[in-house]
Each structure stands twice: as structure tokens, then as C-alpha cells.
Amino acid sequence: MLFNSYIFIFVFLPVTLTIFFQIGKYGYHRLAVSWLISASLFFYGWWNPAYLGLIVGSILFNYAMGTLIGKSGNRWSNYVLVFGIVVNLGFLGYFKYANFFIENVNSLFASNYHLKQIGIPLAISFFTFQQIAYLVDSWKGETVGYKFLHYCLFVTFFPQLIAGPIVHHKEMLPQFAKSKVYKLNYENIAVGLSFFILGLFKKVVIADTALNYVTPYFNIATQGNALTFLEGWVAALSYTFQLYFDFSGYSDMAIGLARMFGILLPINFNSPYKANSIIEFWRTWHITLSRFLRDYIYIPLGGNRKGISRRYINLMGTMLLGGLWHGAGWTFVIWGGLHGIYLVINHVWRAIKSKFIRANKYPPLINNNVSWLITFLAVVIAWVFFRAPTLGSAVHVLKAMFGFYGFEFTLGNSISRREVLLFLASCMFIVKLLPNSIELMRLYNPVLERDYAKHDSLFAPFWKPTIIWGLLYVVLSLSSLRMMVIQGYHEFIYRFF
């Protein structure tokens, strides 16, 4: 089931909310949690009921392992932890990477092994990573006292189940124990609905429109044909904005849906295209994934505690694994490797700058805009590998972007040059100059964090429950529903990661 579908908006969500608060109103909190777990599993199983057993089995296994780690004492807890992590990674590896591994073995050794094509269960990386973090923290003694039903809801809670954020047990489980969560709060409904409408508009009006400019040109590159200079840049920039508004839209809808139930999610998206460095980009893009990679991979590898060279090796290793997390393909590995290289260069440049370059040598306006442009272009180039189905198609797009096929400013596929350039300029205006959703709703503490970074925006209004804002959101809603009729439903890009 998709957030951007009529059955979700007009049936599943209102029914789930109504029954949850009707049960909670009479103090039956366990029953209300059970209802929300059942609804979340129904939401998950809508796509493919066959995978319901996998997520249920994963929940039962990891809760049992966490309990056993807590009770086994120092002598056996290490072994139980390792066993639990290995099983989780094996589970993830089989479904997500087995076919990729067999393909590469066949290519490397000219063999002909065959493995039945394995479908990737929805959101397998998200709920597996959440539970690995739970096991590690159980080993640290930080998960004592959690109820089984609350743990089930922590994993299955439908607003964040499909594409994050990757929530932490410390953030979510204490909230489920609060009695106020089970009482209908009209402010939460208003704030949550506003977030949901903003996210829906981003997804169906902006991201799905960008898709119309992405697919034709990447298809041409995949077929081995040359693109013009303008087609290469339109393909790359359109995907850059499609991914931004698709993922930002999902993040807003997740925050809004959780808020309707009185739950605050952690911030996961904070204007990453305003970043003036790759370091800043990764502090604002998929924030909870960056946090997981830092806390459970980079720091255990040694972080920056074992010298400069080791620090850069750890960075590269972490980003390569982060790339592979996104998908079983060499294009994702290269994307992760590029960002690893970017981060190393960024850290080296900061070290050189602090030692050898006089501070404030250039006016801040010039310095910041040059840094932003370099960062943005580096991100755009890396996104080409993220989107391209093959290395060859990525190379074709990049060669067009860098003028290897000439510098023609023409577009094929009957796409209006004026229309697409106006669309791209509008997207840039929104992501660079306007406040993001969290800044817009800042008076109502929309996320768990209270110290999220503020950005310089062209103007910084804030949402209030007024008639003017209500009319604006009605317009956004009607525009979104109209586009859903015209274009149909498109899946979220991060849905199968």
C-alpha cells in the first residue's frame, strides 16, 4: 500500500486512526497497540502477503535474542550477539544480495550457476538495521524493561516501516508507554495532516513530474545511444530533484502520520541541497542512516581514534557499505565510493585550510556559494550512478554532461525545452531558497530533536492553524489529488532499500 494512494488516504488511515483512539479512549492501551500492530502488518502485507512471515519471524527472533543477551551474562552474551547479527545479515544477504553474488561469480569464473530469482522483501534493510541496533544495545544493557507489544510496534509502525527513518529503540519505545499517546489530540491531527499534505504534494506533483524527464533520457543511455549535452544535464538534474522531493516527501508524510498518533519521529531530511560541503550534506541527507553507519560501523571500526590514515580508510569502508546497503549493484558501490572519496577530500581540505589558508580571505557570500556549487555538482554526478541501471548507461550520461558528444542544447522525446528548464529552475528555487517543512512547522516541535540546524532562507514563515494556511493546504491537496488521477501512483524510490 502506498501513502500516495486513494485507498490509503481515504480508507486505511481514517479507519486505523478512528479505531486506535476509540480503543485508547477507554484505557485499553494494550489492545490499542495490538490494533496498530495488526494494521501495520496489514499495510506491509498489502504489497505481498507472502513476506508477512518474514517480518514476523524477524521480530520474534530478534526480541528473543535481545532478551537472551540480557539474561545470559557476560560469559555468553558476546556469542549470542554475534549469532544474532550473523543471522540478521545472512537473512538480509540472501534476499538482497544472493543474485548479485551469483552473477559476479559467473562473470569472474566463467561459470554457469543458477539461482532462482529472489524477490526483495519490502523495507528489509530498514527493519533489519533497526533490530541489529537493538541487539547491540541489548548487549550494552540499554534495552531492559521493554514490553513485547511495544517492541513489535517499534519495528512495524507503518509511518516509518517502508522507507524510514531508521528509528532507535530509545526514541520510540518510551513514547509508546505514554498514556497521552492514546488520547485524541486535535493539534497533533492538524500538524500531522499539514505535514502529510506537504509531503504528498512533493511526491505526486514535483517528484513524479520530474520522473517524466528522467526516464526517457536514461532509457536512451541504457540502449547505448548518445545524448546531447542538454539531455545529459536534464537527465541528471531531473533525477537529482526527483530523488530529493520523493524522499523528502516520504519523510514529511512519515512525520505527519506518526504525529497524528501522537508520536514524534527523528529528523531524517534537513535541506541537504543547501549544504556547503559533503560533510554537511551527510549530516542533512538520510540523517538516521548516517547515524546508524557512524554508530554501528564507522566508530566500531575505529572512527578517528587510530590516526589520520585509518580514519580515511574507515570513512571509505563505511561509505562503500552504505552504497551497497542501497542496492545490490556495482553502480551503488561506485556511488558509495564516490561519496567516500568526497568525504576524504573534504576532511583533507579542512585540515589544509585550517593550517595554511588565512581565514576570511574571501567574502563569506562568495566563499559559501562556491562551496555550495562544488558540493551540489559533486552530488549530482554521483546520483547518475545511483540512478543508472548499468555502469555503461551511467558513463553515457556523464559523457554527455561533460561534452564528449558535443554541446547541443536540444531535447528529444518531444519534451519542451522551455518547460523542462522552467521546472528545473523552480525546483532549484524551492530547495535552495525556501524553508523546509520542519522549519515551516517549527512552532509545533515537529520532530524529536530541538536543535536541528536552521538554514538561511529567502523568507521564513511559519505554519499556524489559520484560514489562510488552511486554504493553502486545500489547494495543495486538490493539486495532489488531481495529479494522482492524471499520472496514477508511482512507488517511492527508497521503497525496496
Per-residue pLDDT of the chain (497 residues; tens, 9 = 90+): 888 889 999 999 999 999 999 999 988 999 999 999 999 999 999 888 888 999 999 999 999 998 888 776 667 788 888 999 999 999 888 888 888 888 888 878 778 777 777 777 888 888 998 999 899 888 888 877 788 999 999 999 999 988 878 888 888 888 998 989 999 999 999 999 999 999 999 999 999 999 999 999 999 999 988 899 999 999 999 999 999 999 999 999 999 999 999 999 999 999 999 999 999 999 999 999 998 899 888 888 888 888 888 889 999 999 999 998 888 889 999 999 999 999 999 999 888 887 777 656 666 666 778 899 999 999 999 999 999 999 999 999 999 999 999 899 888 878 888 999 999 999 999 999 998 999 888 888 888 877 665 556 666 667 777 888 889 989 999 999 988 888 877 888 877 56
Residue 326 designated active-site = yes
pTM over 0.85: yes
Is the bond preceding residue 446 a cis peptide, omega within 30 degrees?
A: no
Task: Indicate which residue of 326, 339, 347, 396 is catalytic.
Answer: 326
- Angle in degrees, 0-180, between the axes of helices 391-401 and 208-222, rounded to the nearest 10: 100
Sequence-ordered list of residues with C-beta below 8 angstroms from that of 363, at least 6 positions apart, any chain? none
Alpha helices by DSSP H, listed for 261-329, are 278-284, 287-293, 308-326
- Angle in degrees, 0-180, between the axes of helices 124-139 and 148-156, rounded to the nearest 10: 140
The C-alpha cell that represents 463 in the structure block? 505554519
